[in-house]
Amino acid sequence: MAAMGEFERHEPIFGFTGPVARGVAACILIAAITAALVSLPEQSAEWLRSREMIRKLYLLPILLCAAWFGARGAAASTVVATLVCVGVPGSFWPADVPTRVERVGEIAVLWLVGALAASFFEQQKKYFQDIEAANDNTLLALASSLDVREHNTGVHSQRVADYTLRLAKELGITCREELDVTWRGALLHDVGKIGIPDGVLLKPGPLTEEEWKVMRTHPEVGDRILRKIEFLRAPAEIVLAHHERYDGSGYPRGISGDSILLGARMFAVIDVYDALTTDRSYHTARSHAEALQSLRKGAGTLFDPAIVSAFGKIPFEELRGIARNNQTSLVLAVEPVPSLQGAPAVSPQ
């Protein structure tokens, strides 16, 4: 998935998300254990045993750091625990040799657990990444095969998915899960066309009213297909709503405004931009500037105006880069195609 590597998965911790929250949580835990250790007196064997028990609690932040930050996190937290155990913050280093040996054994256990946990979580992370990549590659193959049937090229769906991902970034979305859902929903937007007969889908001329009725079933067909798969249920919502329009004039439910999922509102803008800037059976590619002009005309009626505005801020060179990455060689910046001046706006089926 293009450009997704810069985003990490974030789970909320104490109301915060991301690596900062995790780092703060780990530091608080280590500080609390150290404070408890320092506060205990050393006068009796009972207290010394209590200290021993509390030192074992360092295993908890070490395991958490290994899970959250991998080998580096495990090493950093183990170093802190080791410094405390050897007496850096106080007079913790034992005087007698047998207790010293015991203490060295405790420190060795901390390092052993840290190393094993880091290795386990790194392998687990790689395993999940491999599964996720395999899943996305399967989705790409499916979308590509559908594209070949309808567009004679296998890149339309991936291109609009990558445009939508860039638009999501422009709107300030950084949550990896949300970006995954957006990208997959955009990629699979027309998966329901698998149920549309060739006579309707590939018909060269205008569709009859009956044929339009058949064509307009594809969002619901796509939703039904994807909803059966656990990790595609959220993208299925985008597929179902990808032909809804901001003023309620879309289909299949005729919903409007913010009741249309954000991912679907973003995709609606992208789908029309892509249709305008690429060669189709019914027109030649228009320039980026012309496409933006058409989108702005539809802001507030067909499209969410805030999304059109955000899309207009994306540098043309970035959009051209995405098009090139998806084997679409030409997206014009401003030059109009003279023969198409004044041609009516198009809307994808």
The CA distance from 143 to 148, in Å, is 9
- The count of residues interacting with Fe ion (CB under 5 A) is 1
Site for Fe ion in 226-245 (CB under 5 A): none
CB of 178 to Fe ion, least distance (A): 22
Burial of 6 per CB tally in 10 Å (0-12, 13-18, 19+)? exposed
The residue among 85 and 266 lying less far from Fe ion, judged by its C-beta, is 266
Q: Which is nearer to Fe ion, 81 or 201 (CB)?
A: 201
304 forms part of the interface with Fe ion (CB under 5 A): no
H and E: helices and strands count for the chain: 14, 2
> Whole-number minimum distance, CB 338 to Fe ion, in Å?
30
Question: What is the Cα–Cα distance from 1 to 134, expressed in whole angstroms?
Answer: 11
Please check whether residue 255 is in contact with residue 244, taking contact to mean a CB–CB distance below 8 angstroms. yes
Q: How, if at all, do strands 16-17 and 12-13 pair?
A: antiparallel
> Taking the CA of residue 310 as centre, how many other CA atoms within 13 Å lie in the half-sphere pointing to its CB?
21
Give least dist CB 192 to Fe ion, A: 7
Q: What is the CA radius of gyration of the chain?
A: 28
Q: How near is the Cβ of 222 to Fe ion at its closest, in Å? A: 8
Residues 165-194 that bind Fe ion (CB under 5 A): 190
Specify the residue, 110 or 191, whose C-beta has the smaller distance to Fe ion: 191
Identify which of residues 190 and 237 has a Cβ nearer to Fe ion in the complex: 190
- CB closer to Fe ion out of 55 and 218: 218
**What's the burial of 18, exposed, middle or buried (CB within 10 Å: 0-12/13-18/19+)?**
middle
Nearer to Fe ion, 118 or 272 (CB): 272
Q: Name the residue nearer to Fe ion (CB basis): 190 or 290.
A: 190
Q: How far is the CB of 193 from Fe ion (least distance, A)?
A: 7
- Comparing every residue's Cβ against Fe ion, the nearest one is 190
270-274: long-range contacts at Cβ-Cβ below 8 A with a sequence spacing of 24 or more?
Answer: 270/160, 270/163, 270/164, 270/167, 270/186, 270/311, 271/160, 271/189, 271/242, 271/348, 272/298, 272/302, 272/303, 272/345, 272/346, 272/347, 272/348, 273/163, 273/311, 274/156, 274/159, 274/160, 274/163, 274/348
Closest-CA residue to 42 (of 117, 110, 118, 96): 96
CB of 276 to Fe ion, least distance (A): 15
CB of 242 to Fe ion, least distance (A): 6
What is the smallest separation between the CB atom of 189 and Fe ion, expressed in angstroms?
Answer: 6
Nearer to Fe ion, 64 or 260 (CB): 260
Binding site for Fe ion (CB under 5 A): 190
